[in-house]
Structure 1
Amino acid sequence: MSSKRERRWWTEEEDQILKAGVESQSKQIGEVNSLMSWNEIAAMLPRRTNKDCRKRWYKVRSDFIKGTWSREEDRKLQQAVQQHGLKWALVSRDVESRNADQCAKRWQHGLRPDLKHTPWQPEEDAKLLQAMDKHGNKWKKIATLDLPNRSSHDIRNRQVLKQLF
């Protein structure tokens, strides 16, 4: 049995309940920020988790940028991580233009200082193939155990390219 949940599209009614919950909390704390209790909001929406609610809210908000990161955003992200560590809600607040999930992904797949961005070497390709024999296509596990200086996205993309040729 799969642990994956069935995808459910958000209804207009759910969006209205979400909006009301966010507005109610933002009145209490003065703004929409990292102090929001997404658990309380999720309690008003059966079959929605706190993460579902947080992601939906930040997806429908118009004040966050989508797409390519600017150099200035990267600089802000690096400074915020230096100051707050991997506390993504706090980091996002300092970056201002991106939500917590965007910040986490940008850091983990692009800006982490230990990541290699150089061309792949034959010995890395050999390690990747061995790791795939052992772990299958579990890219995060391969990145953690076998190729720690490559992001899981780089590993997945490299394997896709190798399959094409």
Structure 2
Amino acid sequence: MSEFPQVQGPRTMDKARRPWTDIEDQTLRHLVSQFGYARGRHGRWTDIARGLPDRTAKECRKRWFHSLDPSVRKGRWAQQEDRILLEGFARLGPAWSDICLLISGRKDDQCSKRYNDILAPSARDRLRGWSEEEDQVLRDSVQSLGHRWSAISALFPGRPPLTCRNRWRHLSAKQAMVSRGEDSGSPRSRFSVRLTYQPIV
């Protein structure tokens, strides 16, 4: 008999998307210390997942690499990291699990997102100003699609999902100030917008 509980039957979407609990995080840390892991896609994630009911190997891997791995480097990218990322992409293409091995502390998903949202030629228009028509399309898209930024960004060539999300937050902050009767041109209001709007870095 396996020492780990087995997941029986198909899981519902709600279960697949439910937040991780503190107990699950503690269990995952213990299992990773027991079985180990690889920086790339290959590792003993199937074995690790057996110890976590209702979690797949992919979910365990993503949770570890995105949130729990103490070696993960987060925050602003250095110019040298961008250079290595661009050189790696030019040589290997979108082989993110291989490219991430070239950049200490960065994972494959981080490299993919950094390239596609910031460095790719298709993302060069991300800093271009937004027209009133684009803002309205963005509002309508959020109304119909919710916060599905990848789907929304498909309506705006050259604008990555992160750019669309940040523009929406900027518009939402301005609307909130109008609702409170504040002047969006005042120093206090501009400061409030900058706090809400996350720059793309």
Q: Would you call these one fold, judging by a TM-score over 0.5?
A: yes
SS at match of 1:119: coil
TM-score by length of 2: 0.64
Distance in 2, matches of 1:11 and 1:159, equals 32
> How far is 1:44 from its partner?
4.1
Q: Contact 2:84 / 2:103 at 8 angstroms: preserved in 1?
A: yes
Moved more, 111-120 or 128-137: 128-137
Q: Given the alignment of the two structures, is residue 81 of structure 1 paired with residue 89 of structure 2, yes or no?
A: yes
Q: Given the alignment of the two structures, is residue 50 of structure 1 paired with residue 50 of structure 2, yes or no?
A: no
Report what 2:177 is aligned to.
none
Distance in 2, matches of 1:91 and 1:60, equals 21
SS at match of 1:114: helix
Render the CA deviation track for 1:51-92: whole Å, top value 9, x for unaligned: 232234434433332211101111111222223332321121
Rate the CA distance shift 1:130–1:92 in 2: closer, same or farther, 3 A: same
Q: Contact 1:77 / 1:103 at 8 angstroms: preserved in 2?
A: yes
User: Which of residues 1, 20, 40 is equivalent to 1:7?
Assistant: 20
SS at match of 1:161: helix
Distance in 2, matches of 1:65 and 1:153, equals 19
Report what 2:160 is aligned to.
151
TM-score by length of 1: 0.76
Which residue type is aligned with residue 104 of structure 1? S
Which residue type is aligned with residue 72 of structure 2? F
Rate the CA distance shift 1:46–1:136 in 2: closer, same or farther, 3 A: closer
> How far is 1:122 from its partner?
3.3
Report what 2:135 is aligned to.
125
Q: Contact 1:34 / 1:90 at 8 angstroms: preserved in 2?
A: no
Distance in 1, matches of 2:19 and 2:142, equals 28
Report what 1:27 is aligned to.
none
Rate the CA distance shift 1:89–1:158 in 2: closer, same or farther, 3 A: same
| Number of equivalences | 157
Distance in 2, matches of 1:131 and 1:60, equals 34
Distance in 2, matches of 1:6 and 1:134, equals 25
Distance in 2, matches of 1:123 and 1:103, equals 32
Rate the CA distance shift 1:124–1:12 in 2: closer, same or farther, 3 A: closer
Alignment of 1:8-157 (within 5 A): 8-9=21-22, 10-22=24-36, 32-58=39-65, 59-115=67-123, 116=125, 117-132=127-142, 134-144=144-154, 146-157=155-166
